Structure 1
Amino acid sequence: MSGGRVLLTGATGFIGSHLAEVLLAAGYEVGALRRSSSDLRRLAAVQDQLVWINSDDPSWETQLLAWQPGILVHAAWLGGVSAGQRDDWLAQLTNLDFLLRLLELLAQGPLRQVVALGSQAEYGAFEGRVDEAYPPRPTSAYGAVKLAALQVVRTFCETRGLSWQWLRIFAAFGPREDRHWFVSHIITSLLAAEKPLEMTPGEQRYDYSHVRDLAGAVCQVLGAGVQQSGVYNIGANAAISLRELVGIVQELTATQGEVRLGAVPYREGQVMHLEGNSHHFEHVFGPIVRTPLRPALAETIAYWRAEQSL
């Protein structure tokens, strides 16, 4: 399905900016919430194609209702990625207030579907390959509030006959991600080659998806009916060791930078295998188009080369 009006929250973020591009390319009209202080740099290529609603404007709710979106794609979240915010309970709980306010507002119009981005953090500390039947046991405020938000979405939509999909996202990388995230940290450190890159032995095996593939998978869900409501993992459906990942980046960057594997010890309780099973998603919505790892890394490296040349 394509066409129709989609409200996208979090459009100015890393994943949200790619979602905006994919939704527009699929033929949707995309409305996006922003603040007066929002940085639009990630949306430079498409910002003029979006219908912007400034949530600092006292009339933003009236504007949003007048625009009449039929689908909500909720990608916004305050905190969670940075370590300093993951256990800030008060900050995390503000996400529930905003989500409920948004749902109650949109339900006054033609809303028929809610698609929200969850997180692997809902599962807590696990080892291995996890599917949706694994019992969530979050170990952070971020994961706990994400799980609570799932319950809000589920109950709100089911009591109103709305279609809902909660998409648990595993690690994503690609152009426009924050510099301190693992893949971009490795790339920028090796490109700069200012000092040795010190890390653990790198035997951890994690699940990394290209962000555009993730955005495409979210787009596949749009238009799903009530019978497809539920929780779905989205990931690469494979894991790679960090040692191997760093080796590929070294090769693709042709860097002179030194990597010191084992210079940093594993932290206590280090998770050595973290991978999502996306078979349930693909059974319901079809195969996820996945960019092979090397081209995906090469594209991300090209992005950071261009950024560092500015």
Structure 2
Amino acid sequence: MHKVLITGITGFLGSHIAENLIANNIQVIGLKRKDSDIWRCQEFKDKIHWVDIDDKGLFKNQLLACSFDSIIHAAWIGVESNERNNWIEQTKNIPFLVTLLDIGKEVGISKFIFLGSQAEYGEINGKVTESYAAEALNAYASVKLACLELVKSYCEINQIEWIWLRLFSLFGEKENENWLIPSLIQSMKIDGQKDFTAGNQKYAYLYVKDFAMIIYKIIMASVQSGIYNISSNEIRTIKALIEDIKNYINPDYILNFGVLEYRANQSMHIEGDIAKITAQIGEIEFTDYSIALKQTLNYYLKK
């Protein structure tokens, strides 16, 4: 039976990964802070072996005693948009990564999975493969790329399988309230209006539960070390997404598209080619978009 350590387990992505792995009878160790809010893991918290990171010496000893075979590194300092050019905050992610790699080596892990980002590619206008040149345009992307080199070198030197996942647009239950869908729902609960750009940007929106299933497949399969895009296989405009939300939440809400200007160097088509990852784990059964969106909206409405 697999035993997996997840960092960032109390976050949006980490909690969904944990829920899926637990449902598939994989033992999960969750790394958190003593004051972390575990509300996203509330329904399955008793099935997680929790380790608090606050006491650095103690947490390392606890992890060394756990004997896990894989690490999923989902934690990151500075994920919010207003923190992405804060070089001091972003570089704080590097020492923890090195500590985590050292622990993994001592435990004897066979697989290290890191959640990277489409931001590593820089400006995207189309469907990109992993061979698309990386070009960091902010501190966030730059530090991600620095971590990529650390992971690649460390794991290859120590014979650890490394899987670097470049994540494209995700949506689903348990996002932060200031993110697109939950914030729109809050606005649309009462009659009103909101200004937008023309909304013609095309994104490959991936449902978070499908993403969690992809992670499960990666854990179970023998995946060749390397960089992999993780993306939906269909695109839609942000205008279409917002209109779908409006029609479900409040058809009378007024959407003023075209009032705002696009930001400078706005990418109009962001999509990842997923042929490389499907060649490793098999075809991915994506949840129908309308079903995934309805489940997401119902979650926020009930909350």
- Aligned partner of residue 149 in structure 1, secondary structure: helix
Q: CA RMSD in A?
A: 1.3
User: CA-to-partner distance for each residue in 1:157-198, whole Å, 9 max, x for gaps?
Assistant: 1111111111110010101001222233223322x2253121
1:65 and 2:64 are equivalent in the alignment: yes
**1:253 alignment counterpart:** 249
Corresponding residue for residue 110 of structure 2: 112
Q: Distance in 1 between matches of 2:137 and 2:120?
A: 8
Instruction: Tell me the number of residue pairs that the alignment of Structure 1 and Structure 2 aligns.
Output: 302
Q: Partner of 1:52 in structure 2?
A: 50
Matching residue of 1:275: 271
| CA displacement 1:99-141 (0-9 Å, x = unmatched) | 1111112211121110111100100112111110101001011
Give the Cα separation in 1 of the matches to 2:233 and 2:136. Answer: 21
Distance in 2 between residues matched to 1:109 and 1:268, nearest whole Å? 47
Extract unaligned runs of 5+ from structure 2. none
Structure 1 unaligned regions, length at least 5: none
Report if the CA contact (8 A) 2:229-2:273 is conserved: yes
Residue in 1 aligned with 2:146?
148
The 3-state SS of whatever aligns with 1:185 is helix
Q: Of residues 177, 182, 192 in structure 2, which corresponds to 1:179?
A: 177
My pick for the range that moved more, 192-201 or 238-247, is 192-201
Q: Would the aligned equivalents of 2:195 and 2:256 in 1 still touch at CA under 8 Å?
A: yes
Q: Report the Cα offset of residue 276 of structure 1.
A: 1.0
Distance verdict in 2 for CA 1:150–1:224, change over 3 Å: farther
1:304 aligned partner, one-letter code: Y
Instruction: Report the counterpart of residue 214 of structure 2 in structure 1.
Output: 217
What is the letter of the counterpart of residue 209 of structure 1? L
Amino acid corresponding to residue 256 of structure 2 in structure 1: R
* Equivalent pair of 1:193/1:256 in contact (CA under 8 Å): no
Deviation for aligned residue 1:289: 2.2
Matching of residue 237 in structure 1 with residue 233 in structure 2: yes
Cα deviation, 1:12-41, whole Å, max 9, x if unaligned, reads: 000111000011111111001010110111
Deviation at residue 223 of structure 1 after TM alignment: 4.0
- Do 1:209 and 1:236's aligned partners in 2 also have CA atoms closer than 8 Å? yes
Q: Structure 2 CA distance, aligned partners of 1:46 and 1:38?
A: 16
CA contact (8 A) 2:191 2:252 kept: no
User: 1: CA distance between counterparts of 2:173 and 2:220?
Assistant: 28
Name the residue aligned to 2:200. 203
Among all aligned residue pairs of Structure 1 and Structure 2, give the percentage whose two residues are the same amino acid: 35
> What stretches of structure 1 move > 6 A for 4+ residues in a row?
none
Partner of 1:32: 30
Whole-angstrom CA distance in 2 between matches of 1:223 and 1:103: 21
Larger displacement relative to structure 2 (173-182 or 216-225): 216-225
2: distance between equivalents of 1:126 and 1:175?
27
Q: Provide TM-score, normalisation by structure 2.
A: 0.96
* Equivalent residue, structure 2, for 1:76: 75
Provide the rounded CA distance (Å) in 1 between the counterparts of 2:194 and 2:283. 37
In structure 1, C-alpha distance between the alignment counterparts of 2:265 and 2:109, rounded to whole Å: 44
Q: Secondary structure at the match of 2:65?
A: helix
- The CA deviation string for residues 245-264 of structure 1, in whole angstroms up to 9 with x for no partner, is 11211222243221111121
Distance, in Å, in 2 between the alignment partners of 1:198 and 1:163 is: 47
SS of residue in 2 equivalent to 1:84: helix
**Mapped partners of 1:88, 1:245: distance in 2:** 30
Amino acid corresponding to residue 274 of structure 1 in structure 2: I
Distance 1:69 1:130 in 2: 34
